[in-house]
Structure 1
């Protein structure tokens, strides 16, 4: 699958930025590299297997403390790379109620 049809301009990271995928319920986590990003989504390279995991929606932790994160939806899977779309935060999050996500 090609990653060419994008809605907005992307910033490419030559070596990738270390980030972490965490399931919505906190049952699993995967280290990965963010290879490029935009306002609407990103492309990740995942080192560990995704077999058997529900990766339709998950949190993407952008900082080691877990304070910077985005809720994501997978839109493409091609080998060890996935294309993700950032899910618009719901109104509860905007009011300051943040899900409990441990790094």
Structure 2
């Protein structure tokens, strides 16, 4: 399977950027950011303040003030106050799931 094709998603660049928030998976930190561009597989963000010390291996990108629109992300690259993120899909771990018949072991 060719994984290199995943990075070729069409990118949408926003003229002024879209205000958003980043939040730790465990909710212990939150940062304002601006989404500069987005594709099916990831986005480029400009972060307000330092990213030093934040757990950026996996976090949420909140796209609405109510938190109803969000994407689970992982850090791809850092360049000054800009970071690149890859979107994590919930179905990515499908390989491990095996259908098992429902049986009562009691």
User: The TM-score by the shorter chain falls in which range?
Assistant: 0.7 to 0.9
State the structure with more CA Rg.
2
Residues 1:37 and 2:38 are matched in the alignment: yes
Aligned equivalents of 1:82 and 1:54: distance in 2?
13
TM-score by length of 1: 0.80
Q: How many residues align?
A: 86
5+ residue gaps, structure 2, are 1-6, 93-106
**Paired residue secondary structure (1:76):** strand
1:1-103 mapped onto 2 (5 Å cutoff): 6-90=7-91
RMSD: 1.3
Deviation at 1:22, TM superposition (A): 0.2
TM-score by length of 2: 0.77
Aligned equivalents of 1:57 and 1:38: distance in 2?
18
Aligned equivalents of 1:90 and 1:21: distance in 2?
22
Deviation at 1:7, TM superposition (A): 2.4
| Superposition misfits of 4+ residues, deviation over 6 angstroms | none
Choose between structure 1 and 2 for higher RCO, CA contacts under 8 A separated by at least 6 residues. Answer: 1
